[in-house]
Chains A and B, each alone.
Chain A
């Protein structure tokens, strides 16, 4: 009897999260395209991009205890890398293989900085979206974690990076489009960006990437690495005494989170048709965090569902109350932080497990 219970629990632990991921996959890939209008589906695609970044934040913050307040930087690296390619694609479609983006002619001196050149290539762009944030996060993480910077200092440092990154973008108008950002893309790897069929395809790609990220994170949680990460979060010194270097463990989580934010940003550019400093600055970074906090940072699905919910909430509230929506949104966050400090999802699972314990005790 006892044995059977254990087997059941083990099966639940393996297949439970998988069932959750499968439900998310069916909801995003089958139900949503069937019931939503193209416009709403595209909006959902935007929330999915935030959710992809959110899954990474869940890993770094929920499991690793690192409050990453500046994920906008990595979101922006991916977003701008993709946008540079789309911008060049748009230019080359009308002006031949040597064409350069319109804003460099209009507002600059008609020359393109050399580092734009490789982004003419689609495969290079995809490579850069994965590798650029990984390199940046490795250098940054190495410097931070080896010096044992943590807690509020870590949070402030990452937040400051987001501010600096947005300021840098605004100040480099000739190279990055400045405050306007990059926009007016026409095609996505050869596909017309404004064709409803293609928009749905791009949405599907984003949704699949979210599922893949969920699976990756789930596998990480199940691995010894996942256990070490939680151990580092809860008792870093003990992990050190056991012979592990917490810096390396945190670094891996930080880099994975950065790459996921970058993937989210890369899909954000074709879905919204624009990436600008306001999508990657401190405020945008806090919105990413807010979704994760709302959904439950240490759960597998919490960050993704929370990010989707915050995205939906922003749209719904701003459409229903165009003049007061920011107050409602603020109020919502205050209520959640006051009454459900570990997120709605976590509060729910705590509640159900408490009920279950009661039943067992009886």
Chain B
């Protein structure tokens, strides 16, 4: 460069810049004002339940990477609404759903739930799948004193006055799975997961509980979310020859994992897999025959109960005979009926009144009877272990004796130390 940049920046009149800045400063000052934290102005709820209908919000991703999973939840929510309306609604009011697309983007979830709560004035919102989406919605639903029903099993360590968690927390899925492994006489365990909150937390719990149970962890491998290449990590599993592989991999990354696993000579005979995110929907999509592998859930399509028969029949009549039912779908369906039961017990759609009488509200769900814990807003559920058969259905091989009380912070487990890694 032959000349300095300094004089390159010389511009013509300068005065105008100052004028503009002064102008905008004046404008903005008029718009400003502030409240220091602590002295929050109260949020008025705009929910209107004086008419014949009550609005509920459905917030699921119907576009983006999560759409394939979340659409199934949306379908079962729609079905539940139809059933409830056909049966006379909630407290005699017809339910009117307002649907929004979370677009697989946490920031959109935050935007849409605020729209549902403050714009549409819905009495409650149903949805969310990823922990990211729930974490994004949590502060919004708390600030607006709304209600959210979250239908997916998750990593626990959370409880909010404004959220009901109808999926399993860790002591209803991960810990029972470890009890099952212990009962099978498992000595060595290999952990494979996506590099994501759920697998990281699950494995932290698994490692501490394994120590308590005397199971040796012979390896722990992570691959970034949505990364399909598991070749190197599976080679480590093949070398370690564990009695079992605990699989906390998310979504489509499972396909790459399963492919590498079978190609390297592993199978249910030598190092079987127990998964916490492969359900009826995912099993046929693995690209390999995974007969004989295990999964831990709280609901399988194969669960035998009259309510489940009706649920499956109604679902397939509405959406097609080839559509399987799975745990998150069932938890979403259950969440709407639990909401109905909550409102009817409280005799009101008011969040505070619902929360005050929430403890002990039950529903005879397809998975079995579930009961709300008024303290932590989770529900007591029965833990199940299923073995995949050649029809991609799960045969239940183990279950907890009774519904497991939810304990999201694992306070009842003396071996648990959250600060220990």
Instruction: Give chain A's interface residues, CB within 8 Å of chain B.
Output: 14, 18, 21-22, 25-26, 29-30, 33, 37-40, 42-43, 46, 93, 103, 105-110, 167, 170-171, 173-174, 178-181, 183-187, 190-198, 200-201, 204-205, 207-208, 211-212, 215, 219-220, 222-225, 228, 243-245, 248-249, 252, 272-276, 278-279, 315, 318-319, 322-323, 325-326
Q: Is B143 an interface residue (CB 8 A)?
A: yes
Q: Is B390 an interface residue (CB 8 A)?
A: no
Q: Is B413 an interface residue (CB 8 A)?
A: no
CA distance A21 to B5 in the complex (A): 27
Q: Is B306 an interface residue (CB 8 A)?
A: no
- In order of increasing CB-CB distance, the 8 nearest A-B pairs are A109-B421, A194-B143, A192-B37, A223-B11, A245-B1, A180-B132, A204-B31, A29-B27
Which of A249, A276, A322 makes the CB contact (< 8 A) with B99? A322
Q: What residue in chain B is nearest A200 (Cβ atoms)?
A: B31
A265 to chain B, nearest CB (A): 12
A41 to chain B, nearest CB (A): 10
With most chain A CB atoms within 10 A of its CB, the pick from B10, B34, B99 is: B34
Contact A14 B13, beta carbon cutoff 8 Å: yes
With most chain A CB atoms within 10 A of its CB, the pick from B8, B23, B103, B114 is: B8
Contact B63 A326, beta carbon cutoff 8 Å: yes
Interface size class of B (residues with CB under 8 A): 35 or more
CA distance A127 to B38 in the complex (A): 27
Contact A322 B197, beta carbon cutoff 8 Å: no
A237 to chain B, nearest CB (A): 16
CA distance A340 to B23 in the complex (A): 34
CA distance A275 to B197 in the complex (A): 16
Which residues from chain A contact B225 at a C-beta distance below 8 Å? 170, 178-179
Contact B34 A278, beta carbon cutoff 8 Å: no
Contact B132 A272, beta carbon cutoff 8 Å: no
Which residues from chain B contact A109 at a C-beta distance below 8 Å? 419, 421
Which of A42, A183, A197, A318 makes the CB contact (< 8 A) with B135? A183
Contact B62 A322, beta carbon cutoff 8 Å: yes
CA distance A194 to B141 in the complex (A): 11
B102 to chain A, nearest CB (A): 9
Instruction: Give chain B's interface residues, CB within 8 Å of chain A.
Output: 1-3, 5, 7-13, 16-17, 20-21, 23-25, 27-28, 30-41, 43, 62-63, 99-101, 103-108, 110-112, 114-115, 118-119, 130-132, 135-136, 138-140, 143, 155, 157, 195-197, 200-201, 204, 224-225, 418-419, 421
B71 to chain A, nearest CB (A): 10
CA distance A193 to B142 in the complex (A): 12
CA distance A128 to B227 in the complex (A): 32
Q: What residue in chain B is nearest A29 (Cβ atoms)?
A: B27
CA distance A63 to B135 in the complex (A): 40
Q: What residue in chain A is nearest B62 (Cβ atoms)?
A: A323
Which of B20, B103, B106 makes the CB contact (< 8 A) with A180? B106
Which residues from chain B contact A212 at a C-beta distance below 8 Å? 21, 24
Contact B224 A171, beta carbon cutoff 8 Å: yes
Contact A224 B7, beta carbon cutoff 8 Å: yes
Contact A278 B104, beta carbon cutoff 8 Å: yes
Contact B34 A39, beta carbon cutoff 8 Å: no
Which of B1, B34, B140 makes the CB contact (< 8 A) with A248? B1
Known contacts A29-B28, A274-B136, then 6 further A-B pairs from the complex at CB < 8 Å, ordered by chain A residue? A30-B31, A195-B34, A198-B35, A204-B31, A212-B21, A215-B17
Contact B36 A179, beta carbon cutoff 8 Å: no
